Structure 1
């Protein structure tokens, strides 16, 4: 069996695969489309992250492909319809990074609330400016969720433990689903979440229904000092609209772990703003989550190659 891995992976899963298959691991292969297509001629399994575009052309160049593994949960870089037409299952690391993403969101909320971004540099410069760096408590603040999947529910439990008010919108959630009935998250309309929340966190997939979900109209419904957090996918927030909104409203803040183009262009205008925190798509990247992801995807790929249906397939 031949397995091709085109992006960054952790050694635990690679070593597991090597016990059963011939593994080609080239974490930068996704950058060289021509070489990528050549490498797939004999591949029975392809393992990707979020940069490799698995489209009709790629699948045509992989006539022996039996399974696609996704090192993560987002599937927007994989043409699922094309894969289904060729009867190629796609397996993914369901919930393997949910803890990491929820902790990332919570940690950025706490950092922003206590003004911890610049205070170290200030102290190192010989200042002792306690008034400037007097922050705010998150206790009693409202965190609003757009999307209430596994990550949202885990984050909601952690936010409630800090005494935050937790509200959310998800059109696929019924009144007595776990998030509302057991976690204690209060159901709101989409507009109500925008209007009520001090912090708004996005947890939805990227598709034709969620593209530009947050644009000028939605931003203008938010509180003056709102903090917007996107760990889902770039393109869910309209970036030009967000830039204009942040520029005109210096009390607002954005925490962006994802961009429409990754990595973003060096001249991206949002880099010039002070009221942003930017990270390179790392909310789900911790050593623990990536060990889980690597092993989980390796196991599910091997199940499919051995004729067993994965529990995490689409």
Structure 2
């Protein structure tokens, strides 16, 4: 299996691949687009960070590619839809750098509160000034956390240790989860109105782009502090600049930008603003995190090579890792059923139904359905069909896919009917 590495990746983290005799790995940094287009067709997997744009144009040249491995959390530099169309698995490393990102959030927040960068520069220049660098305590302030995921949860816990009150906005969590973190779940409007400090920890997608706009800044307390150590573009940068200039926001700390490296006038003004603390996307830049994410994506490539389920695919329906041992045999059974029935079905079936009965039906059975659907369609088309693109191929062919579940089963503990 041939693997190309196009961005700086921890050598220690890649040792798993280097030691496997089945893997031929090439580290090729700094390739131009034409050079990468010419090279990519020879490889089965690509390992990247944020420096390589894995877009539809690149993927059109990737005639043998089976996996895009993003050594980090964010996948905004990968065209997941284009990869899915070609049946290419996209994996990331969602857990390897969460601690580093949470710690960096606290680092830039504390630097902002205590004017560390300005005081450092002042003293190094030979001055001895104290009054201009009077800061703020975190104790008894209200922190608003937008997104209580892996990073947001760690930030919330660390903020609690500073004796902050923490409120959370996250439409995808339960009140119990928020309570488990010692926080209170609120809606976004309430959060922006009551928080003294606001920090965002969501992915960047259509739902979260410009999540915080001028309308939200208008509702905030005067003197609020803003932190973004997640993704550039979640907070509207022009609105952020206006809020700083008006004094509504007394200070902000950003690690990420909508354009990296920054080029636009608004971003440049933000970076140069005297009340902004800025870093060049360093949230995951610790030696430990870089090793962790490299190990994680290396394991995923080996999982693919060994025919084992990948754990962190972003474009494959999957069970939680704890359930895979239990559900794996049912996925294999669905593949066998799909392969078998494809030889009996009419040429262009209009509908396929998957029915699950028994204990199995207590779980989301979509991964099993997609495994069976992929096997069914793989015999019917010239295109290779797998769990990545099975639903897309079914949609194009006008094939309706139905799924039913019932925990009742008269004769069997578990029953799959296709």
Give the TM-score band, short-chain normalised.
over 0.9
Q: Which runs of 5+ in 2 are unaligned?
A: 315-418
Deviation, 1:54, is 1.7
Which residue number in structure 2 is paired with residue 139 of structure 1?
139
- Per the alignment, do residues 142 and 22 of structure 1 end up closer, same or farther by CA in structure 2, a change over 3 Å counting? same
- Look up the match of 1:28: 30
The aligned counterpart of 2:220 is: 222
- Give the Cα–Cα distance (whole angstroms) in 2 for the partners of residues 250 and 166 of structure 1: 21
CA gap 1:189/1:251 in 2 versus in 1, 3 angstroms: closer
- The structural deviation recorded for 1:39 is 1.2
**Secondary structure in structure 2 of the residue aligned to 1:94:** coil
**Cα pair 2:213 2:235 within 8 Å, conserved:** yes
- 5 Å-filtered alignment, 1:65-84, equals 65-84=65-84
Preserved contact between residue 212 and residue 234 of structure 2 (Cα < 8 Å): yes
What are the equivalent positions in structure 2 for 1:253-272 lying under 5 Å apart? 253-265=251-263, 268-272=268-272
Residue-by-residue CA offset, 1:223-250 (whole Å, 9 max, x unaligned):
2111111122112122122112211217
- Give the one of 192, 200, 210 matched to 1:194: 192
Report the equivalent of 1:295: 295
Query: Does the CA contact (< 8 Å) of 1:53 and 1:78 recur in 2?
Result: yes
Give the Cα–Cα distance (whole angstroms) in 1 for the partners of residues 238 and 46 of structure 2: 35
Whether the aligned pair in 2 keeps the contact of 1:66 and 1:305 (CA below 8 Å) is no
Structure 1: gaps spanning 5 or more residues:
none
Q: Give CA-to-partner distance per residue, 1:229-277, whole Å, 9 cap, x none.
A: 1122112122122112211217521211111110002852223310101
- For the residues of structure 1 that align with 2:124 and 2:272, how far apart are their CA atoms? 24
Q: In 2, Cα distance between the equivalents of 1:92 and 1:188?
A: 30
Higher helix share: 2
> Which aligned pairs between 1:6-17 and structure 2 lie closer than 5 A?
6-17=6-17
* Higher normalized contact order (CA 8 Å, seq sep 6+, divided by chain length): 1
| Aligned residue runs from structure 1 range 134-283, under 5 A | 134-177=134-177, 180-249=178-247, 252-265=250-263, 268-283=268-283
Partner SS for 1:52: coil
When the two structures are aligned, how many residues end up with a matched partner? 310
User: What is the CA–CA distance in structure 1 between the aligned matches of 2:131 and 2:75, rounded to whole Å?
Assistant: 46
SS in 1 for 2:3: strand
Task: Provide the secondary structure at the position in 1 that maps to 2:175.
Answer: coil
- Higher mean alpha-carbon deviation, 301-310 vs 244-253, is at 244-253
Residue 57 to residue 184, structure 1, CA distance change in 2 (3 Å) = same
Q: TM-score, normalised by structure 2?
A: 0.71
When residues 27 and 225 of structure 1 are mapped into structure 2, their CA distance, relative to the original with a 3 A threshold, is: farther
- Please give the secondary structure, in 1, of the residue aligned with 2:219: coil
Greater gyration radius: 2
Could you list the runs of 4 or more consecutive aligned residues of structure 1 that deviate by over 6 angstroms after TM superposition?
A: none
